[in-house]
Amino acid sequence: MRSYGIYKVKKKYEPFVIGRERLLYDLLKENSKQIGDLQEVHYLCDPLERRTIDEAIVSKLGKVFTSIERGNEGYKLMHPVKGSICISLSEYSLDVYCDGSRMLDLDLFVALSEVGNRFFAVMDGHGEWGWLKPIKYTNYRSQSLAVIQ
């Protein structure tokens, strides 16, 4: 079973985080061990909107998964071949547990990246992290060069 914490980085801090993803990973990894969210997470990340998450999971993944159960605590998605995903939603993070093929992870990441472009995932216990939708460095590089000059 693979577990992830998925957060949405605030737009104003996205340029700062680019190139410092390892530091963000270290912070978010520590956050997953806490009972409540760390103050730094409140500062760097946007609260998650239930409506946006519903859109990604129910609308986008509803076509792919045979069963989607939605409750107050989160979601459970089942696929006969790929396996299952359990998702719990807190104010600042999605806690995701995938049991089965890595294609489950990809399906979820694609669905979330279609509704937002600043989602950052941390894979618990494996030292893996990254943006769900890759950042285009050329845009930020040209903006920072314009500010410096």
The alpha-helical segments, DSSP class H, found in the chain are 14-17, 21-32, 39-44, 50-54, 61, 103-115, 137-148
Q: What is the DSSP string of 48-67?
A: PPHHHHHIIIIIIHTTT-SE
Q: How much is the average pLDDT of 9-32?
A: 87
pTM of the model: 0.84
Model pLDDT for residues 31-76, shown as the tens digit of each residue: 766 666 678 888 999 999 988 898 888 888 888 898 999 888 889 9
**pLDDT score, position 102:** 92
Buried-exposed string 26-44: b where 16+ CB fall within 10 A, e elsewhere: ebbbebbeeeebbeebeeb
Going along the chain from its start, the domains and CATH numbers come out as: 2-148 (3.30.310.250)
pLDDT tens string 113-140:
998 889 999 987 678 899 998 766 555 5
